[in-house]
Amino acid sequence: METNAYNQKLNRYVLNDQIIYTGFSSFKDAEECAQKKGGTLVEVAFKDGNDNPQITDEAGLIEKQLHYYVDAGEEYKFIHSSDPGFRKYADELQKIKAKQRQDSPEERYFANFEIENVEDPIVIIKNDHFESVTSRERSKYLKHAKVYELGVSLPKS
């Protein structure tokens, strides 16, 4: 089983004459994998609401040195756990949830665990207001989003 820098399982896809790995925790993580395995960095898009990747360069991930990007229209913003500002949104969300439920300090601590325990969490903002938290994998199926991930391509043996 292949894993990223955080020991999370990588996704493996077979496309024509190549094997593509996605799910890297950073651009650097993907670069290191490509060097170690003798692979090539590629951008992969998931655009049809399911797990059918297409090789593309639409989002410019390689040039921008990004490992993940979502385009779901102007009103939506997807903030990955590795993005600057993620912690601010996660902390703010916990305060809102605690206030709504009138949690005790102990319950607030465990509520904080909820966001941190979601695998590779993504905060979804709609029109500059918090909407929800999801995982990176589930973001492929939401809001008619176009999800772009950095991948490593290896020749199929």
Per residue in 53-90, pLDDT tens? 999 999 999 999 999 999 988 998 888 877 777 777 77
Q: What pLDDT, on the 0 to 100 scale, is given for residue 109?
A: 45
Are 147 and 45 in contact, with CB atoms under 8 Å apart?
Answer: yes
Is 12's pLDDT higher than 90?
yes
Please indicate, yes or no, if residue 111 is contained in any of the structural domains.
yes
Q: Which domain holds residue 53?
A: 11-155
Please indicate, yes or no, if residue 119 is contained in any of the structural domains.
yes
Of the candidates 151, 119, 155, 153, the one whose C-alpha atom is nearest the C-alpha of residue 29 is: 151
Number of domains into which the chain is organized? 1
Please indicate, yes or no, if residue 1 is contained in any of the structural domains.
no
Please indicate, yes or no, if residue 4 is contained in any of the structural domains.
no
Please indicate, yes or no, if residue 32 is contained in any of the structural domains.
yes
- % of the chain exceeding 90 in pLDDT: 38
Q: What pLDDT, on the 0 to 100 scale, is given for residue 98?
A: 65
Please indicate, yes or no, if residue 57 is contained in any of the structural domains.
yes
Is 112's pLDDT higher than 60?
no
Q: What pLDDT, on the 0 to 100 scale, is given for residue 117?
A: 45
List of residues 6+ apart from 120 with CB closer than 8 A: 8, 23, 25, 80, 81, 135, 136, 137
